[in-house]
Amino acid sequence: MAVNHPVIGSSPIRGANFLNMLQLMKNLEIFYDIISPYAYLGLELFSRSSLSNDLNVSLTPVSLGTILNKTENPGPANIAPKRKVALLDFCMQCTLNDVPALGPPHHPFNPMPSMRFIHCIEDQELRFKAALAINKQCWAEGKAVDSEELITECLKSTDFFQDEWEDIYSFTKSNGGRQLLKKATARALELNVFGVPTFRYDDVNFWGSDRINLLQEYIKNSEKFKNNNYEKMLNTTPGIL
């Protein structure tokens, strides 16, 4: 993945050449919350795509619950028909894309320990790796990740575990994880993020795990999508009061 780190793919590129390449890369920000199965699917599919190497990626955890409340948008978990359809759709999409999906032992669960912790990882490449590992433990392996102890246990099995993660509670608290998550969520709302995953590129939000192909096409030729009557439809007056 091309992130704010001197590694592109598996080959280290250092000095002026790396800086020049980084400047030429476009920025992509991904808003996500582990509570959403589609955020898990979206990150997994994105990590397999060429975009993970072609863009300067930043991962931004947010509180989906806060976003749904602020936008008055009830989540699928609280609407029985929507929950059934959404979970079936998620499972079928995972099968279609060969993404393992077992689901967490409880849902909804408390995502805050994971989201606050991930915010405290400054290196974006390491942040993305940690997020993928925690996501997989939850959604692919069916294990709980709703406490600092469980997150530590999950990450200790990886080859990128950091000594400072031995006590994730202290690590998160000392780095201001609670405030970082609040600020990121408030900023996401300002940027019209209403769900996860949201891929934000060139000031355009691409919402959903199934928007990666559209995002790729937009990056290739954004001009193609400019004359699409969006402004006309956006400003159409209501026909019924």
SS3 of residue 53 by DSSP: helix
- What is the per-residue pLDDT for 13? 42
Give percent of the chain above pLDDT 70.
90
User: Residue 166 corresponds to which amino acid?
Assistant: E
Domains and CATH numbers, the chain: 7-234 (3.40.30.10)
Q: Which of 9, 205, 209 is CA-nearest to residue 97?
A: 209
pTM: 0.89
Q: Looking at residues 3-9, what average pLDDT do you find?
A: 38
Q: Is the pLDDT of residue 237 over 60?
A: yes
pLDDT at 24 (0 to 100): 57
- pLDDT tens profile 130-186: 999 999 999 999 999 999 999 999 999 999 999 999 999 999 999 999 999 999 999
pLDDT at 99: 98
Q: Tell me: the pLDDT tens digits for 74-108?
A: 988 889 999 999 999 999 999 999 999 999 999 99
Which residues touch 181 (CB under 8 Å, ≥6 apart)? 61, 62, 63, 112, 115, 116, 119
Confidence of residue 60 (pLDDT cuts 50, 70, 90): very high
Say if residue 28's pLDDT is above 50: yes
Q: How confident is the model at residue 23 (pLDDT cuts 50, 70, 90)?
A: very low
The pLDDT, as a whole number, for residue 227 is 81
Residue 62 has pLDDT above 80, yes or no: yes
pLDDT digit string, tens, across residues 176-217: 999 999 999 999 999 999 999 999 999 999 999 999 999 999
What does the pLDDT read at residue 77? Answer: 84
Across the chain, the runs of DSSP E, i.e. the strands, are 7-8, 11-12, 27-32, 56-61, 198-201, 204-207
- The answer for residues whose C-beta is within 8 angstroms of residue 64's C-beta and 6 or more apart is 33, 35, 36, 39, 75, 111, 195, 196
